[in-house]
Chains A and B, each alone.
Chain A
Amino acid sequence: MTTAISLEGVVKTFGSTQALDGLDLEVRTGEVHAYLGPNGAGKSVTIRILLGLIRQDRGRVELLGGDPWRDAVALHRRLAYVPGDVSLWPNLSGGEIIDYFARLRGDLDTRRRDDLIERFELDPRKRASTYSKGNRQKVALVTALSSSAELIILDEPTSGLDPLMETIFQDCIREMASEGRTILLSSHILAEVEKLCDRVTIIRQGRAVQSGTLSDLRTTTRTSMTVSTDEPITGLEDLEGVHSFRRDVDHVHFEVDDPAIAEVMRHLAGLGIRSLVSRPPTLEELFLREYGDEPVDG
């Protein structure tokens, strides 16, 4: 397994603001890697370092086997980028901008481009000044997705898209992943990441707080359960590994550490289970646990 992106102990400071504080990040070749974090965590700064637009103060950065600062031009032939806040030339049409970027990369596949324009329902003749945020984002997406780049870096690419377009975006990402391309997808939209990604890195205040596959992350956490039984449930709250136990009129809710699930099921089995709903933790819950009681945008 080779590595497409690797950062070790990266530090970046702007004036008195510590944007990255010893960040580690590893993206393997051919995977869809989610880069999750709240606003201001340092996601965009990381991406700007990967693009060679800014240089880290300390730490080691490697991108596609090169140094993103020193080898910027050569590396950029092999990657495509979708910025989070898409700003376009107001007098140019969307079609002109898409073609311009394709030519800058020397990589214009008109069939693929036309297909994407159709799927995203973009009017390429409109001037960029008249595009909405979502349409500007579509221009950037068509630009990046119509390329044959081996690495695609997307910075919160769907924040302006409607749910229908988001589905199309997810299809496109799956297609690209099936072609063996590497995708780094930064986001704070957890549901989107859950459906698409092989592995996840969670960043907070300039540091990676967790990294691994989704199931890796989940084993370290709990499962939520809602149960109702014929016999009254007693003693469950005293079991090892059961948390947040709460009793309703005819249901009980609790969370259970995954290693303790078997013991809980044995306890419930004798009580005549009428219904049982069990749900793996969402990334929201992972997030909340990571960030504790602090507000998510802190």
Chain B
Amino acid sequence: MTPFAGFGHQLRFVLRLDRVRGSVWFAAMIGVVLASALSVLSLYGTVAERQIYAQVATADAALKAIAGPGYGLAAAEPTEGAVVMNEVEMYTYVAFALMSVFMLVRHTRAEEDGDRAELVRAAPIGRLAPLAAAGTWVALLNVVIGIGLAIAMTVVGLPVAGSIAFAAAGVGLGLVFVGITAVTAQVASSARSARSTASATLGAFFILRAVGDIGSGRLSWLSPLGWAQSVRPYADERWWVLGLLLATAVALFGAAVTLSARRDLGAGILPQRPGRTEASPRLDGPLALALRLQRGSVIGWGVGMLISGYFLGLIADQADQLAENDAVAQILDQAGQGSITESYLATMMLMMAIIATGYTVSSMLRPRGEERDGRASPVLATPVGRRRWLFDHAAVAAGGTFLIMALCGLGAGIGYATSTGDAGQVLPLLASALTMVSPMLVLGAFAAALIGVRPGWSAIAWAGVAVVAVIGYLGETLNLPQWARDVSPFTHVPLVPAVPFDLLPVALLAAVTVALAGVAAVGISHRDIG
């Protein structure tokens, strides 16, 4: 039988599974980009407004780190397209990449973990057909969203060529991540580790290009995110870069297919060492088990946050140099009460905290996974109470959140000290990072409350993360009203070190956390364990 036999059946099958999910990605991505573009167009309708925007944007290190080099902003009369790109381009690319990671793992490694792949492989289906079908489907979804995006951008009045270039760069990056994820799905030994390895790769690419964009730009060429931006939509498009993205995607997917043909179903490429004959004496309760199960992910996040913090701190002193123009410095100063460097660092810390909320929520949702997979019942059939079981997991989620944020603050402080020789920012940045823990815990407690009261809906906790990310990253771009921004707990937290620490909002957020934890405790004690 040929290795691709049954490809058509398999493709129709995954299409059937993803009717809803695919539509949600399509609607959410096009909806958010479209709304952002419309908002930017109304905010910066005149050339004069765009000139002021361009002056600030090219001088603001925080904006450069988040948004990129801002191609076309340096022109005497920046176009609408250039401003829109500076506001929405990076998020769009990141969304394409994340969609590819989640969708591809779902149809490859996750199927093997769930033993369903065995059923499929036992049918007259070629060995490589499931991977090929999954890759084809996710690539197709990328292309469909890309077409929708190009049409949407054209409809709001932006030039056709730029709109196509923008959408094509997004699709190109999405395809690169189809390739990267296809490889991690072969190398990793579980869906979780395939997903986190691919996401960590995205994080590394983001940091590479953030550092590159603030500096000389050379580092950005090591990152496919940097390539996608180098297509320069609406700013003298460089079409050939798309070829680079496509070639990389094809090479990676080819590598994944080769790896897949060489390994056993359900196994990873990385070998598994034999385990212990007896448990370590420390493995003596649900807390110890939760720690043991999450050790890897806490270490991974901790290292990632430390390195990211280091680089963001390292380039902080360039914030001042970028803003040497006095007029621009004044505008930036109005944003916060502190210096330009301080407001840059505070903004970065906020952005990192929103990303790290992904850890908090995924860690807090672990007990739900334990319950769904049938591992909670045997534990709860021992003398372990339900509340203790849930709160031991919560303790690991909260402790891990403190730890990775402390590492992020520490990294930023050390990075800053490395480039300026001034170690005086280490403690303020640590304080800044730890202040950010309070809104993160609100989202974690929200996840716990869902587990307590409506376990079937606990995935809504991820919608919470999506909402705070949109408010945090796109609040300005979308010109959201204040009441809408107030929905996010991150809106209320003081941006140390740009503003002084304020206990009241932090205490209020802690009170909300405690209230949600109370709901979780009552809920878990009264419901059926499923």
The proximity string for A residues 75-94 relative to B, scoring 1 for CB distances below 8 Å and 0 otherwise, is 01101010101111111111
A103 neighbours in B (Cβ, 8 Å): 279, 283-285
Write the chain B residue with the least CB distance to A104: B382
Q: Is the CB of B385 within 8 A of A95?
A: no
Q: Is the CB of B381 within 8 A of A53?
A: yes
Q: Is the CB of A95 within 8 A of B285?
A: no
B386 neighbours in A (Cβ, 8 Å): 72
Given contacts A87-B374, A88-B375, A127-B272, contact A96 B279 (CB under 8 A): yes
Q: Is the CB of A53 within 8 A of B190?
A: no
> Whole-angstrom distance from the CB of B9 to the nearest CB of chain A?
28
Q: What CA separation (Å) do A99 and B292 show in the bound complex?
A: 14
Q: What CA separation (Å) do A27 and B529 show in the bound complex?
A: 24
Q: Is the CB of B528 within 8 A of A93?
A: no
Q: Does B276 contact A (CB under 8 A)?
A: yes
Q: Is the CB of A87 within 8 A of B373?
A: yes
Q: Does B189 contact A (CB under 8 A)?
A: yes
Q: Is the CB of A73 within 8 A of B528?
A: no
Q: What CA separation (Å) do A88 and B380 show in the bound complex?
A: 14
The proximity string for B residues 75-100 relative to A, scoring 1 for CB distances below 8 Å and 0 otherwise, is 00000000000000000000000000
Number of B residues with CB within 8 Å of any CB on chain A:
34
User: Looking at the complex, which one of A81, A90, A95 makes contact with B378 (CB distance below 8 Å)?
Assistant: A81
Q: Does A291 contact B (CB under 8 A)?
A: no
Q: Does B15 contact A (CB under 8 A)?
A: no
> Whole-angstrom distance from the CB of B373 to the nearest CB of chain A?
5
User: Looking at the complex, which one of A73, A77, A89, A105 makes contact with B375 (CB distance below 8 Å)?
Assistant: A89
> Whole-angstrom distance from the CB of B437 to the nearest CB of chain A?
28
Q: Does A134 contact B (CB under 8 A)?
A: no
User: Looking at the complex, which one of B284, B289, B382, B530 makes contact with A76 (CB distance below 8 Å)?
Assistant: B382
Q: Is the CB of A95 within 8 A of B383?
A: no
Q: What CA separation (Å) do A130 and B283 show in the bound complex?
A: 21
B530 neighbours in A (Cβ, 8 Å): 54
Q: Is the CB of B274 within 8 A of A100?
A: no
Q: Does B293 contact A (CB under 8 A)?
A: yes
Q: Does A74 contact B (CB under 8 A)?
A: yes
Q: Is the CB of B279 within 8 A of A100?
A: yes
Q: What CA separation (Å) do A74 and B383 show in the bound complex?
A: 6
Q: Is the CB of B381 within 8 A of A100?
A: no
Q: What CA separation (Å) do A92 and B279 show in the bound complex?
A: 9
Q: Is the CB of B384 within 8 A of A95?
A: no
Q: Does A126 contact B (CB under 8 A)?
A: yes
Q: Does A48 contact B (CB under 8 A)?
A: yes
A140 neighbours in B (Cβ, 8 Å): 378
Q: Does A25 contact B (CB under 8 A)?
A: no
Q: Is the CB of B383 within 8 A of A105?
A: yes
Q: Is the CB of A126 within 8 A of B275?
A: yes
Q: Is the CB of B285 within 8 A of A48?
A: no
Q: Does A178 contact B (CB under 8 A)?
A: no
Q: Does B377 contact A (CB under 8 A)?
A: yes
> Whole-angstrom distance from the CB of A154 to the nearest CB of chain B?
12
> Whole-angstrom distance from the CB of A107 to the nearest CB of chain B?
9
Q: Does A51 contact B (CB under 8 A)?
A: yes
Q: What CA separation (Å) do A100 and B286 show in the bound complex?
A: 9
Q: Is the CB of B274 within 8 A of A54?
A: no
Write the chain B residue with the least CB distance to A110: B278
Q: Does A40 contact B (CB under 8 A)?
A: no
Q: What CA separation (Å) do A103 and B278 show in the bound complex?
A: 12
Within 8 A of A (CB), among B289-310: 289, 292-293
Given contacts A53-B377, A100-B283, A104-B382, contact A95 B529 (CB under 8 A): no
Q: Is the CB of B277 within 8 A of A93?
A: yes
The proximity string for A residues 120-141 relative to B, scoring 1 for CB distances below 8 Å and 0 otherwise, is 0000111101100000000010
Q: Does B379 contact A (CB under 8 A)?
A: yes
> Whole-angstrom distance from the CB of A51 to the nearest CB of chain B?
5
Q: Is the CB of B529 within 8 A of A53?
A: yes
15 contacts between A and B (CB under 8 A): A53-B377, A53-B381, A54-B528, A72-B380, A76-B383, A81-B378, A86-B378, A87-B375, A88-B375, A92-B292, A98-B279, A101-B379, A103-B283, A124-B277, A130-B272
Q: Please list the 8 inter-chain residue pairs (A to B) with the smallest Cβ-Cβ separation, ordered nearest first.
A: A93-B275, A99-B279, A54-B528, A87-B374, A104-B382, A96-B279, A81-B381, A53-B529
Interface residues of A (CB under 8 A from B): 48, 51-55, 72-74, 76-77, 79, 81, 83, 85-101, 103-106, 124-127, 129-130, 140
Interface residues of B (CB under 8 A from A): 113, 189-190, 272, 274-280, 283-286, 289, 292-293, 373-375, 377-386, 528-530
New A-B contacts (17) at CB < 8 Å, excluding given A94-B275, A100-B283:
A53-B380, A72-B380, A72-B385, A72-B386, A73-B384, A77-B383, A83-B377, A87-B374, A90-B113, A96-B276, A103-B283, A104-B286, A105-B383, A125-B275, A127-B272, A127-B274, A129-B272
